[in-house]
């Protein structure tokens, strides 16, 4: 019995190309200006990024040098983006930059055509709809508030980001189940990444593999039931 559905974003509700080619590019192009004009708002994000930079140096990752200048912080952020690093500080900063873009109309988010009808159908069944993404909670809320299909945030109960844990660790999904006050086996997790499904499955959740145009082929995909749209869910 399913009582809640937990959704990844990239490659599940939203094309990967939109995230990487539109959102990441927008954040990269506007990072310097945003940091210059919003010093107080990004102070905590900068502190987290400095901690992560120090860890990268200790681990021999050879990140670009970081000093007190904005240009060096932008260079480090670009370095993280190029590696698709699931950095909490970076994701928080990106979310704030994207908020500016959504507010002024520069950004309009994309979801697959089957997403909005599925949200209506799942809610009619009494399921709660929840999101778990490496993007910050703010970024998730902004994305679903500004879709081409309209504001979908009214359908979503809870948002989870890397503050709950990494997406490839079973403990993250146990924490989510506890927050939702549900046994894990009453939650269905949908993602395009097998490693994430492995972690959710280890935690006891039911799972489906999302296969969408542009998604990366996954090793061991045969372990999971696959869907190509939400119409079958």
- Indicate the helix (H) or strand (E) that contains 6: strand 4-7
99 shares a domain with 151: no
Domain, as residue range, for 181: 4-15+109-232
- Residue 94 sits in a domain whose CATH number is 1.10.720.60
160 shares a domain with 63: no
pTM: 0.87
Distance CA(148)–CA(127), nearest Å, equals 24
Over range 20-26, report the average pLDDT: 91
pLDDT in tens, 150-202: 999 999 999 999 999 999 999 999 999 999 999 999 999 999 999 999 999 99
Residue 35 has pLDDT above 90, yes or no: yes
Q: What share of the chain is helix, strand, coil (3-state, %, to 5)?
A: 50, 15, 35
What total number of domains does the chain contain? 2
Per-residue confidence (pLDDT) for residue 82, from 0 to 100: 86
| CA 91-95-101 angle, 5° bins | 145
pLDDT in tens, 84-110: 888 889 989 999 999 999 999 999 999
Residue 38 has pLDDT above 90, yes or no: yes
pLDDT in tens, 215-231: 989 999 999 999 999 99
Cβ count within 10 A of residue 38: 15
175 shares a domain with 115: yes
- Residue 115 sits in a domain whose CATH number is 3.40.50.1000
Question: Tokens 């698709």 label which residue?
Answer: 84
């Amino acid at each position: 019995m399913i009582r809640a559905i937990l959704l990844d974003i990239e490659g599940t509700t939203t094309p990967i190309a939109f995230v990487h080619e539109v959102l990441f590019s927008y954040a990269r192009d506007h990072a310097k200006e945003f940091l210059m004009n919003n010093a107080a708002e990004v102070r905590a994000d900068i502190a987290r990024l400095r901690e992560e930079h120090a860890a990268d140096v200790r681990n021999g990752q050879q990140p670009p040098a970081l000093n007190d200048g904005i240009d060096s912080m932008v260079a480090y952020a670009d370095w993280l983006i190029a590696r698709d690093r699931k950095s909490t500080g970076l994701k928080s900063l990106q979310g704030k930059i994207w908020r500016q873009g959504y507010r002024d109309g520069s950004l309009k988010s994309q979801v697959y055509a089957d997403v909005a009808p599925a949200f209506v159908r799942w809610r009619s069944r009494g399921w709660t709809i929840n999101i778990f993404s490496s993007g910050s909670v703010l970024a998730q809320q902004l994305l679903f508030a500004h879709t081409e299909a309209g504001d979908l945030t009214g359908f979503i109960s809870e948002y989870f980001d890397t503050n709950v844990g990494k997406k490839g660790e079973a403990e993250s999904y146990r924490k989510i189940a506890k927050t939702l006050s549900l046994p894990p086996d009453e939650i269905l997790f949908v993602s395009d990444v097998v490693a994430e499904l492995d972690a959710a499955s280890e935690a006891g959740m039911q799972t489906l593999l999302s296969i969408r145009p542009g998604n990366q082929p996954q090793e061991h995909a045969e372990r999971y039931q696959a869907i190509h749209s939400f119409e079958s869910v």
